[in-house]
Amino acid sequence: MIDIISLGCSKNLVDSETLQRLFQKNGLCCAIDAPKVTGDTVIINTCGFIEDAKQESIDTILQFADAKTKGKIRHLYVMGCLSQRYMEELQQEIPEVDKYYGKFDWKGLVEECSKEAVSSKKPSSKTSKSSSVTKYSCYIKISEGCDRHCAYCAIPLITGRHQSRDIEDILDEVRERVKEGVKEFNVIAQELTYYGVDKDGKRHIAELIEKMADIPGVHWIRLHYAYPTQFPTELLRVMREKDNVCKYLDIALQHISTKVLSNMRRNTTKEETIELIKRIREEVPGICLRTTMMIGYPGETDEDFNELVEFVKWARFERLGAFAYSEEEGTYSAEHFEDNVPEDVKQSRLSKLMRVQQRISHEIMDENIGKTLEVVIDRRENNYYIARSQYSSPEVDPEILISADDAQLTVGEFYNVDITDSEDFDLYAKIK
């Protein structure tokens, strides 16, 4: 049995799922993020994006290195972004790991684990379903890498240049997953809206999503990680016209101060950002916008931060996350700017922004009371079915709770519900 611990973003989860399928093709039993590690081999798929994520990866490696030392597991392998970037340092500091792999060397890892399975005389033809992958919902990664080179971001240093998958390859995967029973497709990339530029200089994301939407059996398509600069507005037409393209867009804005945006090398301005938000909301009525803001970037003044707060109040994002800037070695920011915003100031600003967003979120959640929404059932917990609407991505967004006393529902099926009540982060509903 092989246990994969998948850390970081959903793009890492896609990689873990791909690795899982490779193991299964080789007759090896494999689970992702199981509630309890039961196998004798553990693979940690690490994240190396920001300081907190890197620390979580290191802590997890140390935890299982200790487990190996105590004989609780036999083999420990590490892969992913952190391993790709800091392999030599990790090899020196945590030698208990059997072997470190980069972000893309899946073949070598599969070969190693297959060899170990044969040598231990424990091969298995059994398969194990990932706890984070369902038969009705999946992620589809349409590209790898990034050409944006934002000043603070180490991802291009880890993953390299933007590489779009062939459109027919993606569509074939969607068709195959539909045959397997998948109904919800979460399209993901480091930079979604750049799709196709590396092939012929043109943005083909609208074409791709439109063709995906036309595949029979595709019930929901949800879009993650758009970039505001040179946003392909043709995509808005597709979102508006195709009923199975969720009215949901994850678009990381990072800040609103033109000065800060310039220092971040985001290649946009406050005015351009505001106009884009206006256009998106005008062309796709009722859209749910998810964004991320960075607090405490080098040189961010009180005035810059207050400008951001006022922008958030104006924009009223349905979903907003924020994190404090942390310096990443090798990036433009690390080499050209001093990390001069004190940590306590960063945390104070972060707390203030999230208090503002909490009030906005509460108001928006209340506005759902009395509405009828289509939902998919994700699971049952105690006396409630846990569901999501098209406006919520798996695991990260607000959920909808439906009393199990009202009806017998099926996980993975879609139902219409009436929203009856709200809390800060969840809604309550009854079957219509």
Cα 119 from Cα 81, distance rounded (Å): 29
Query: Phi then psi for 187, rounded to 5 degrees?
Result: -80, 130
Q: What is the pTM of this model?
A: 0.84
Burial class (CB in 10 A: 0-12, 13-18, 19+), 95: exposed
Element (H, E) at 153: none
Domain ranges of the chain: 2-119, 137-366, 372-431
CATH topology for the 2-119 domain: Rossmann fold (3.40.50)
Query: Phi then psi for 385, rounded to 5 degrees?
Result: -85, 135
Two domains, one topology: 2-119 and 372-431: no
Q: Look up residue 362 and give its two tokens.
A: 């509460």
Strands (DSSP E) along 305-383, which ranges? 319-324, 372-381
CATH of 372-431, one of 3.30.360.10, 2.40.50.140, 1.20.120.140, 1.10.40.60: 2.40.50.140
- The answer to whether the beta carbons of residues 201 and 166 sit under 8 Å apart is no
- The answer to whether the beta carbons of residues 59 and 143 sit under 8 Å apart is no
Q: Look up residue 192 and give its two tokens.
A: 């979604």
Hey, what CATH class is 137-366 in?
A: alpha beta
pLDDT in tens, the chain (432 residues): 899 898 877 778 888 888 888 888 878 888 888 888 888 899 999 887 777 788 889 999 999 999 999 999 989 999 888 888 888 899 999 999 999 988 777 778 888 887 765 444 443 333 333 333 458 999 999 999 999 999 999 888 888 899 999 999 999 999 999 999 999 999 999 999 999 999 999 999 999 999 999 999 999 999 999 999 999 999 999 999 999 999 999 999 999 999 999 999 999 999 999 999 999 999 999 999 999 999 999 999 999 999 999 999 999 999 999 999 999 889 999 999 999 999 999 999 999 999 999 999 999 999 999 999 999 999 999 999 999 999 999 988 999 999 999 889 999 999 999 999 998 778 999 998
| CA 101, 104, 110, 112 torsion-angle sign | negative
Query: Phi then psi for 319, rounded to 5 degrees?
Result: -135, 130
Q: Residue 305's Cα: distance from chain center in Å?
A: 26
Cα 294 from Cα 52, distance rounded (Å): 14
Find, among 102, 132, 208, 217, the residue nearest to 165 by Cα.
208
